[in-house]
Amino acid sequence: MATIREVAQRAGVSPTTVSHVINQTRYVSEEVTVRVHMAMQELGYRPNALARSLRCGETKTIGLILPDSSNPYFAELGHAIESQVFSYGYSLILCNSEGDQKKETFYTQVLMEKQVDGIMFISSGDEGSSIQSLLDHQVPLVVIDRICGALDIDVVLTDNFQGGYAAGSYLAGLAHTRIGMITGPIRVTPSAERGTGFQQALADHGIEVEKGLIVRGAFNAASGYQAAEKLLSINEPPTAIFASNDLMAIGTLRAAYEHGLSVPQDLSLIGFDDIELASYVVPPLTTIAQPKEQIGQAAVDLLIKRITDPVRETERVVLQNSLVLRNSCRRFFS
């Protein structure tokens, strides 16, 4: 790799002048600036970004820790975040914890060692240990999609209770009274909130929630399939199912097919997230849509404000979900 001295020699100037041209720290005539850039191009010189970031006290990089990058929801959310990060002139380092607390802690340390300017974080659970470590080291931080107890941090959430309530109200409004629910992991706050909202909606419509109609999943298609197998194998199976994410709803579609059931003629089904795939399965999936673009924009905006002003008051942004009607639900006829 060419050095700054070699560039200076080729351009016929001092290394200090080359540095001023690269960093724009002092006026250099247009003629000299052109000579320096031509020399850099001819020699294939690239400025040392690490050295420059150490001088400036910033790396222009942001870290993002996701719990499961194979989940289309998180992949789509990551894309929305990356686009917004890029618009601010930053690059993004993506880490996948795979829902593992040890990996989550490891990547937290890695990002701090790389001296990223800030971190966006979707925790694998709600323990908050990794988040507390970032706060202790005064790393600018925004938490997405998780409630972390009494920690004073910037947070971007969607109203998962409202989303679950909308799902329950919609199925109750279609005259279903025997409704199953596939919940998510117990230690993930959105799962609990969606379930609570859903059950509240049924109660408000005078529908008793049977414990046998609630089965826990793991926010992936395989667990949705297994949970639906249990629900559809009981003596009096549900006429409708709320799967608390779209992947589990897609697993439910397969289970229904294997039981000889048609969706929505024999079984109504509603998901949560509105991943892109939801509109392409057969039948297209009715779901609760999370506003991924808005989440990404709000999270990045908060983080940039935190980087710019580390002592500003923390903010809590709560966005609303929306019901997307497709073809996987219909009115129940006894």
The pTM of this model reads: 0.83
Strand partners for 323: 288
Within the chain, what is the greatest distance between any pair of CA atoms?
89
Query: Residue 287 pLDDT > 90, yes or no?
Result: yes
Inter-CA distances, 111 with 45, 105, 115, 119, 160, Å: 27, 10, 6, 8, 29
Give me the phi and psi of 218, to 5 degrees please: -130, 25
User: Is there a contact between 249 and 224 (Cβ–Cβ < 8 Å)?
Assistant: yes
Q: What is the pLDDT of residue 78?
A: 95
d(CA 56, CA 72): 37
Q: Given pLDDT bands bounded at 50, 70 and 90, which one contains residue 74?
A: very high
Query: Residue 279 pLDDT > 90, yes or no?
Result: yes
The mean per-residue pLDDT over the stretch 274-297 comes to 97
Q: What is the pLDDT of residue 53?
A: 58
Query: Residue 5 pLDDT > 80, yes or no?
Result: yes
d(CA 125, CA 302): 22
Query: Residue 157 pLDDT > 70, yes or no?
Result: yes
Q: State the average pLDDT for the chain.
A: 91
User: Is there a contact between 82 and 75 (Cβ–Cβ < 8 Å)?
Assistant: no
pLDDT digits (tens, 9 = 90+) for 21-59: 887 788 999 999 999 999 988 888 877 665 555 555 678
User: Is there a contact between 268 and 176 (Cβ–Cβ < 8 Å)?
Assistant: yes
Closest CA to 35 of 3, 7, 11: 11
pLDDT digits (tens, 9 = 90+) for 230-246: 999 999 999 999 999 99
The mean per-residue pLDDT over the stretch 248-256 comes to 98
Q: What is the pLDDT of residue 208?
A: 86
- Show the domains of the chain with their CATH numbers: 4-47 (no CATH), 60-159+292-319 (3.40.50.2300), 160-290 (3.40.50.2300)
Residue with more model confidence, 221 or 51: 221
Q: How far is CA 159 from the centre of its chain?
A: 15
